[in-house]
Amino acid sequence: MSFTAPTRDIIATLTDIAGLDGIIADGLFEGLDQDLVTALLDQAGAVAEGVLAPLNTPGDRTGVRWTDGVVTTPPGFPAAYTQWREGGWNGVAAPDAWGGAGLPVMLNTAVMDMHTAACMAFGLGPVLTQGAVDVLLAHGSDALRAAYLPKLVSGEWTGTMNLTEPQAGSDLALLRTRAVPAGDGTYRITGQKIFITYGEHDLTDNIVHLVLARLPDAPAGTKGISLFLAPKILPDGTANDLRCAGIEHKLGLHASPTCTMAFGDAGGAVGWLVGEENRGLACMFTMMNRARLATGLQGVAIAERATQQALAYARERKQGRSLNGAGPCPIVEHPDVQRMLLSMASRTAAARAVAYVTAAAIDRAERGHDEEAEALAGLLTPVVKAFCADTGIAVADLGIQIHGGMGVVEETGAAQHLRDVRVTAIYEGTNGIQAIDLVTRKLPRQGGALVSALLAEWKAIAVEAAAVLGDSAADLTAALDALEQATGWLLAAGRTPEQALAGATPYLQLFGLTAGGALLAKGAVATRTRQQAGDTSPDLERRIVLARFYAANIAPAAPGLARTVMAGGGFVGEALAVLAG
């Protein structure tokens, strides 16, 4: 099916919910105004619709090929990448000093939203390249920045993140890849990495690998990991001692090469230290945290794509009789189908709002040197990664349901959305790990003061939105009360680590669900204000309806999640006896 870039919804989310107007007014980005934003996003939407979306289905069906270390992407991908790169899309948020546009992360997030929805397999590569730029900006030496940033920012070269090994997935303390000083300021890297996105491909001439490895005298565990830059092609033009040993045959994302990378077959790949020795994991988290925002955004993007397709199908597919007895009627006239479609659309809007608010916090933290914004970005990062990924999976699953039997037939494309988005709950730190991070590290900071401040802000929004939401305002208030209660329970003295860990995932789900409802309510208030000022745009009422539906139909799950959190993990003591076999 065709894809329509949701530019109006994106601009409304940026402006009415994420605070773009405030960032413009505060002058954090010189020359940024609403006209520039609209022009940029219109152009991004045209690229999404005309260049990237046509690659999605053929790319999935053809997939990537590996032959003796050479990886070939599907037809059309190299040409599309060249066009995308020449348009400057890789450097939207990169500093202008290195050839970027110097625009906000929130605008880059909006661009990625559309481009990922058009073709997620294509959009994965730039995520890692942009992350490599962030790492070098924060931790690279002047020499490494000068040698690699210009071509990474432009997209002439791409970047990768090499963490995972066969025996070391989420537990990087088990990492074995070695790096030995060569005596000339470089290192020789030996080892194997798996699940490396775009580790090898035919889109660019060079690929810049960021590799976690251990020095000979490194302490054990995660405190002994260093970060190295190892390019595919060395500065003298010769090939480095690294290769793609194979690609994975995955559930989805068939057009994205997921590579096994072998370093040091002939003595060691040449690498340069990034940051300080044995501080590599801290450096890599610069890349991982931004990648977690991008991963959550992938959930938003696929949810958008699945919703568009399901709605188009429901308008065309005729089956059964409508409530007035006419038939066969388009299935969109059936209340249960309407419920599913509104659930898809409202959950997509809520997830987008959470992602964009997180991006805005990053902008204020980085450009405004705002410590509160930095803390907010840290708090929301695990939420946006897990909540938005879960949203993408749930919405894609509903899309299959609306298609009925045709949903599980590959011809319609509905199944591809679920296949593609399913991994978002796993990579860049599983959603369970995000929940643990939220509950054990982010929530307790300053005694929970940041979450308390957010709850106060969201409760004020609920009060202001009461006239717009109608009866459903009470459901949003109940969700906020449930989150407040569960938060207090987790922060209370005497809670054991076992209790916190057992309730971590339902707490993150509760947090994301409630945040989404509050932010949609904020958008609904702004939308009603626009209407009262004379704006008659046809899509305004739709946003209010989605906020009401979410509050009345999605938010009521919150009290149940809170009860699960506060059950205290009573199952843990009995679980092993049941599961021992």
Cite the active site residues: 428
**What is the phi/psi pair of residue 275, to 5°?**
75, -155
Distances in Å between the Cα of 337 and the Cα atoms of 211, 300, 313, 316, 417 are 48, 21, 11, 13, 19
Which secondary structure element, helix H or strand E, spans residue 348, and what is its range? helix 335-367
Q: Is the Cα dihedral 100, 354, 51, 76 positive or negative?
A: positive
Query: At 562, is the secondary structure helix, strand, or coil?
Result: helix
Contacts 24+ apart (CB under 8 A), 368-371: 368/26, 368/28
Find the radius of gyration of the CA atoms of the chain.
24
Specify whether the CB–CB gap between 311 and 331 falls below 8 A.
no
Q: Between β-strands 269-274 and 226-231, what pairing exists: parallel, antiparallel or unpaired? A: antiparallel
SS (H, E, C) 264-307: CCCCCEEEEEECCCCCHHHHHHHHHHHHHHHHHHHHHHHHHHHH
Single out the residue of 223, 202, 234 nearest to residue 66, CA to CA.
202
Q: What is the C-alpha separation between 196 and 209, in angstroms, rounded? A: 10
Specify whether the CB–CB gap between 499 and 509 falls below 8 A.
no
What are the DSSP E strand ranges found in 121-255?
158-162, 178-181, 187-197, 207-213, 226-231, 242-247
**What is the phi/psi pair of residue 557, to 5°?**
-70, -15
DSSP tag of 441: I
Q: What is the C-alpha separation between 142 and 132, in angstroms, rounded? A: 15
